[in-house]
Amino acid sequence: MEAKRQDLNVFGMTCAACSTRVEKSLKRAVGVERASVNLVTESAVVYYDPEQIGTEQLIDIVKHAGYEAAEKMSKEEKDAVLEKKFRREVRQFALSAVLAFPLLLTMVTHIPYLHHTSFAMGVDSLISPTVQLILATVIQFYIGWRFYVGAYKSLRGKSANMDVLVALGTSAAYFYSLAEYVRQMLNPNIEAHYYFETSAILITLILLGKLLESYATSKTTQSIAGLLKLQSKEAVVLRENKEWKVPVDELAVGDVILVRPGEKVPIDAVVLTGETSVDESMISGEPVPVEKKVGDAVIGSTVNFDGTFQAKVTKRMDDTVLSTIIRLVEEAQGVKAPIQRLADRISGIFVPIVLGIALVTFVVWMIATGGVLDQSLQVAIAVLVIACPCALGLATPTAIMSGTGKAAESGILFKGGEHLERTAKVDTVIFDKTGTLTEGKLRVTNMLDSHVDFKRFAGAMEARSEHPIAKAVLAYLGDIEEARAEKIRAKAGHGMVGILNDASVSLGSYRFIAQSVAIQQDVVDTMQKWMEAGQTIVAMSIDGVFAGAFGLLDTPRKEAKEAILRLHELGVKTAIASGDQSVVVENIATELGIDEVYAEQLPNDKSDLVADLQKKGRVVAFVGDGINDAPALATADTGISIGTGTDIAIETGDVTLVGHQLTLVPQTIQLSRATMRNIRQNFFWALAYNCAGIPIAALGLLAPWVAGLAMAGSSVSVVVNALRLKRLKLK
């Protein structure tokens, strides 16, 4: 049975160790084939066998791991939950800051040379040990209770996360101070050392860091929010000759809608009456309005310019072009890139290692200081706090979300983080010719007719094909008498064969026809001149005799040469693979500056070509229309499908380009490389921070509150670095 997909919202994760634990718990369950948990989006994607396990059981697994889970909520529902959570955290931080401020003043009493100043003595008299205890207790067990809960759930699940580090560190400072307080109460003559401010300020700074982190990571999801804002909310539907305004979600396939000038087209539909022009730039990237008449498709959320029209709804809201784009972006942001596995492995063992380092540090300092407990404890606490792996866990998902979000805004849809990572390594791009590098708007410029039935049979054959060549031939022939057709079938990459009016007819490429029939030399010379002029030849034979040919001309897309130039600037080799004649393909390659030419390629030849180049160590991207080129798109390291807006949902590549701007191809590679570079930067700084911070803290050179501030700052810096991708200038 095919695996079923279930999207879940997961709440309560605080670091990479949390998301790793949830993911491992899900993967261990019987019936789960694979699972991916995203810390930033607080979501999980699970593929499972519904005969062995169900959604409720998946939710129970997450809850047993210590977190809250629910079936995927709508954007509005999730926003409401997150908004409520954010407001609660703001209130808790504000309360913690107010309570911690007096304790912050007591830190002056620990600074050498200031201990006996009048200010320090004034603080000591105003903020007595009893006041410190009360303030610290509220912060530790009311505001900081979440860390104990999180630590308990983590340890119960036989792992350790950030909450364990925070709970241990702050508890050590608090309970040591509490012991000192009790000791002084029993014997007022002894000098006690209080560190209530250490635990209180640590908790306050960690809450501040999480708030800043939440705010920054929310920016990485703005691309989806922006797409959602494009969706229409209401539509005017015609029922019983009356106009009714209804929510778009209530429209059904077959409903007739009315769209006036200046309004958004509410949903994907086909025009029934009226003519207009529509701004489709949000889909195609083309700024010029597209003329629409009866029978033309219109795309939901595009803007109607100057005409009123009625249209019949063709898709449900969940299946529209824009909904498909949003779904692809969400999936791309939810699926991990392979590089994320490295961070997950490190995070999985990092916290236990840190606990060990902190313990060793404590023991060493106790020995070195001759048993000075408070100093040894302070150093161990600093190690625990500085080593939190939050930044490491955020390094990849924040960059992936920013990168795929920027891509979506530019009309580039990655179908997963792994495709984004692989595209960054591409060194060769192969283009299909017709409809990809060229306009795909072929027109017949020459014709040879040496048989009385040539035109009639050509029209009958081409009427059964959807190929651009067939449309061009039919447009050229116009209205002709139909022939009686039998047993017509396509020969992939060659043409068509069939029986028409009891005659055996073959129609296809010059090479296909020339292999089976003799062609006079003067006709060969004529067609050779056509090919040298860049024309594509379509020839016909009737009962084994050459019957005629068409010469069709297709021009390169206006931005094709610029796209090839930009690929070369990125150090990428370019190639063209086409089923057309060698002369035609070579002419276009020369005109555009393409490096390698592969002509007269059948669909399977193209996939074999990709495989051969891969065997030579090249990383290949194939650019095609996603239908005829499906084998090559599937074989390539990255299959890049050219989208046309209305058929975007059926594109088969790893990357879909919305619209038909070839300059998006180099931009795809540029953005992939920039995103991977950003991830490597995040990894470096996150690891460098921990590698440098732990020894510094272990040497006693960092106060615990400074370590807490540095830990919060490292997480925010990683997110801010990822957000730089939103400002990337694509060439």
Catalytic residues: 432
Q: How far apart are CA 271 and CA 174, in angstroms?
A: 71
Strand pairing class (655-657; 638-642): parallel
Q: How far apart are CA 590 and CA 293, in angstroms?
A: 39
**Residue 240 buriedness (CB in 10 A; 0-12 / 13-18 / 19+):** exposed
* CB of 623 closer than 8 Å to CB of 610: no
Q: How far apart are CA 177 and CA 170, in angstroms?
A: 11
Give the DSSP per-residue string, 468-491: HHHHHHHHHH-S-PPPPEEEEEEE
For residue 431, the surrounding DSSP H or E stretch is: strand 428-432
* CB of 704 closer than 8 Å to CB of 381: yes
Closest CA to 581 of 624, 529, 541, 634: 529
Q: How far apart are CA 312 and CA 314, in angstroms?
A: 6
Which amino acid is it at 675? T
Ramachandran class of 384: left when φ > 0, alpha when ψ lies in -120 to 50, beta otherwise: alpha
Q: Give the CA count within 13 Å in the CB-facing half-sphere of 174.
A: 21
Taken in order 515, 517, 520, 525, the sign of the CA dihedral is: negative
> Which residue shows structure tokens 């150090």?
571
> Which residue shows structure tokens 């064969």?
497
For residue 326, the surrounding DSSP H or E stretch is: helix 321-334
Q: How far apart are CA 444 and CA 462, in angstroms?
A: 13
User: What are the beta bridge partners of residue 542?
Assistant: 505, 545
* CB of 312 closer than 8 Å to CB of 270: yes
The string over 57-96, giving b where at least 16 C-beta atoms fall within 10 Å of a residue's C-beta and e elsewhere, is: ebbebbeebbbebeeebeeeebeebbeeeeeebeebbebb
For residue 640, the surrounding DSSP H or E stretch is: strand 638-642
The number of beta carbons lying within 10 Å of the beta carbon of residue 335 is 20
